[in-house]
Amino acid sequence: MIRNIIFDLDDTLLDFQRGEYEGVRSILKNAGAPDIEEAFKIYGRVNAAVWQQIESGVAAQPLLNRRFSDTLNQLNIKSDGQQLEQSYREHLNHNFHVIPGATNLLKQLKSNGFRLIVGTNGVAKTQHERLVGSGINSYFDEIFISEEIGYRKPEPQFFETILDNNPDRNISNTVMIGDRLSADIVGANAVGMKSIWYNPHQNQTTSTAPTYIANDYQDILDLIL
């Protein structure tokens, strides 16, 4: 029986894409990109490659410090990537957008006695500030952020750290909920943990098989309750 629910944050509960869209466009505009939409597309490709490397185990911060300068280099604009990354991080720290329905989901699960846990990759300061600023921090009993625990999804040690933190927690009574197959579902599968792929856009699955698929929050409630 499920008693512990690990939630990813970005694009599972918090609307990271909205904050990213606003923040990246602001950075690119201030840096002098002549065509913001084209620059945003270039950034998307650069950033996807960056996160692919990070999830494969490459150190995160050096890559993050180059993603804006690498983007602008393709537009023949010289820039200080580390400084732009810091500016972007400040914007993200104040991205408090909650996906509609997420708060009600947490409230219902909490009222039914489940232990709710944050399990997220990212910069600790950013994620803590967003949890507090969005108002959803009060629903969580524990918070695990990759920068603080030294492991990131999909590394098995990330999930093992969460399981080992409570002697009453194991793979039989715990489920991972997240939107990223490559991080949330691959990682859960690696330790034999049940998973729910939050898939609101109804993307096709790949060879990475989650235990369950939820197209909306009601699906999550139906699966767990």
Residues noted as catalytic: 8, 10
Strands 4-7 and 194-198: unpaired
C-alpha–C-alpha distance, residues 75 and 127, integer Å: 31
Name the nearest CA neighbour of 191 among 219, 160, 223. Answer: 160
Beta bridge partners of 175: 5, 194
C-alpha–C-alpha distance, residues 182 and 114, integer Å: 26
Contacts of 148 (CB under 8 A, 6+ apart): 124
Name the nearest CA neighbour of 179 among 6, 27, 10, 31. Answer: 10
133: tokens are 């600023």
Beta bridge partners of 213: 197
Cα–Cα distances in angstroms (integers) from residue 205 to residues 25, 179, 180, in the given order? 30, 12, 11
5: tokens are 């629910």
